[in-house]
Amino acid sequence: MTDVTFSEAQTAVEERLVDTVIGSFGDCTDPRLKQVMTSLVRHLHGFIRDVRLTEDEWNTAVAFLTEVGRITDDRRQEFILLSDVLGASMQTINVNNPAHEGATEATVFGPFFVDDAPRIENGGDASGGAAGQPCWVEGTVRDTDGNAIPGARLEVWEADEDGFYDVQYDDARVGGRAHLYSDDDGRYRFWALTPTPYPIPHDGPVGRMLAATGRSPMRASHLHFMVTAPGMRTLVTHIFVRGDELLNSDTVFGVKDSLIKDFVEQPAGTPTPDGRDVGDTTWARADFDIVLVPADRS
């Protein structure tokens, strides 16, 4: 048998299996599920055939995914980390949030959001005593036609100056997260911390994968927002610190140019917008105007 004949025979065996697996979904009555599963099979088998995956590599992949599942619990979502560092989370965001002129761009959700964050009033402190440089954040919430949106709910969360979210500590602390509402003019304002770079959790299988492939676990400095309002699409986004050296190498690919903002440091002793006494220390301020897209707009 010539090499060409062998190659053709091997190709036929592989393609027949792809067709057989896809055919196994023939009785699926959910059109969307059938579409997703058949496309998954085509791409998965295409990958295996493209790289000529070895059985040892397949076993390694199964062991890796098993460990990702074992380390995942109600405080740590290793599967989200895996999705994030492969760009799958960001690509899903792109697919589901098409660009609208003037609207605030979305980015990754991340693994550290927690329901029922404390409520603060406008001008309140979202830091909850977490360590870091005080930062005053303010802006407006409007729709794409420029109308103010009163009563929009803003969830905000971030890491402390040591690069840890509250849920990464073992003492049940709550800090660096809160929710508040825009006022009658669509304005909001609160105290937070000036964002600093930090590594995603890299003591597990995802971290070892990054190390093995020569990648850094570091995220660019950012402050998370989730904004909801009746009749509007939910916005999940961050703002990033202009000048951060990690903006071009964020390990979850979440940076978008429109979300890079000026965090302007104020000298010690500079009066604060609300008269708060921050002591003999510097503080920063940032402006972030949010534009939401109506829910019925494609």
The CATH code of the domain that includes 202 is 2.60.130.10
- Pick from 12, 35, 53: which residue ends a domain? 53
Q: Which of 53-57, 99-103, 222-226 has the lowest mean pLDDT?
A: 99-103
Give the number of C-alpha atoms closer than 13 A to the C-alpha of residue 212, restricted to the C-beta side.
8
Same domain, 85 and 42: no
pLDDT at 50: 97
Find all residues with CB under 8 Å of 100, minimum gap 6, and list them: 144, 293, 297
**pTM summary value:** 0.90
Is residue 208 scored above 60 in pLDDT?
yes
Give a yes or no: residue 64 inside a domain: no
Q: How confident is the model at residue 70 (pLDDT cuts 50, 70, 90)?
A: very high
Q: Which pair of structure tokens corresponds to residue 165?
A: 């979210």
User: Is residue 100 a part of any domain in this protein?
Assistant: yes
Indicate whether 46 and 100 sit together in one domain: no
How many domains would you assign to the chain? 2
Residue 200 lies in a domain: yes
Q: Which of 53, 69, 92 is the last residue of a domain?
A: 53
Whether residues 176 and 240 share a domain: the answer is yes
pLDDT tens for residues 99-141? 888 999 999 998 889 899 999 999 999 999 999 999 999 999 9
Task: Report if residue 212 sits inside a domain.
Answer: yes
Helix ranges (DSSP H) in the chain: 3-23, 31-51, 55-71, 78-85, 88-96, 205-212
What tokens appear for 10 in the block?
């091997």
Does one domain contain both 110 and 253?
Answer: yes
Angle between helices 55-71 and 205-212 (to 10 degrees): 140
Distance of alpha carbon 66 from alpha carbon 97, whole angstroms: 31
Pairing of the two strands 222-228 and 153-157: antiparallel
Among 18, 38, 53, which residue terminates a domain? Answer: 53
Do 89 and 37 sit in the same domain of this protein? no
Strand partners, 236: 226
Indicate whether 238 belongs to any domain.
yes
Q: Are residues 193 and 286 in the same domain?
A: yes
Residue 270 covered by a domain: yes
How many degrees, rounded to 5, is the angle at CA 88 between CA 39 and CA 75? Answer: 120
Instruction: State whether 100 and 19 are in the same domain.
Output: no
Question: Does 61 fall in a domain?
Answer: no
Residues 12, 151, single domain; the answer is: no
Question: 142 and 276 share a domain?
Answer: yes
Residues 6+ apart with CB under 8 A from 209: 64, 82, 85
Considering the domain architecture, whether residues 43 and 122 belong to the same structural domain is answered as no
- The beta strand positions in 92-234, using DSSP E, are 134-143, 153-157, 177-181, 187-193, 198-199, 218-219, 222-228
DSSP codes joined into one string, 147-172: -B-TT-EEEEE---TTS--GGGSSS-
Q: Are residues 171 and 279 in the same domain?
A: yes
- 170 and 230 fall within a common domain: yes
Residue 264 structural domain: 79-292
Phi, psi of 92 (to 5 degrees): -65, -40
Note the pLDDT of residue 100: 86
Does residue 59 belong to any structural domain of this protein? no
Q: Would you call 141 helix, strand, or coil by DSSP?
A: strand
